[in-house]
Amino acid sequence: MFEELKVEHPLDVLSEIERTAALDQDVLLQDGGTPWAELLADYVDALSELAVRGTAENGYIATFGLDEGHAGGCG
């Protein structure tokens, strides 16, 4: 009388949504013609310049390495 419906696991559904969204974004970025890598590099350079300028006004320049802070976790 009733057919058994297969219910997808919620994480499988979310993974499919994420995959589809990533493909859609890739297509939009390719079709847009904007040099995204160059734009991102310019943006990071501008932010870095602002950060250095801000710390220099306080009398010091902040420098961070990959092994400082909590980048590797706390344990």
pLDDT in tens, 5-29: 888 999 999 999 999 999 888 888 7
Give the pLDDT of residue 39: 87
Q: Which two tokens stand for residue 49?
A: 């310049």
Query: Helix or strand or coil: residue 75?
Result: coil
The vertex-12 CA angle with 9 and 17, nearest 5°, equals 130
Burial code (b: 16+ CB inside 10 Å, e: under 16) for 8-38 equals: eeeeeeeeeeeeeeeeeeeeeeeeeeeeeee
pLDDT grade, residue 36 (50/70/90)? confident
Residue 57 has pLDDT above 60, yes or no: yes
Q: Is the pTM of this model over 0.85?
A: no
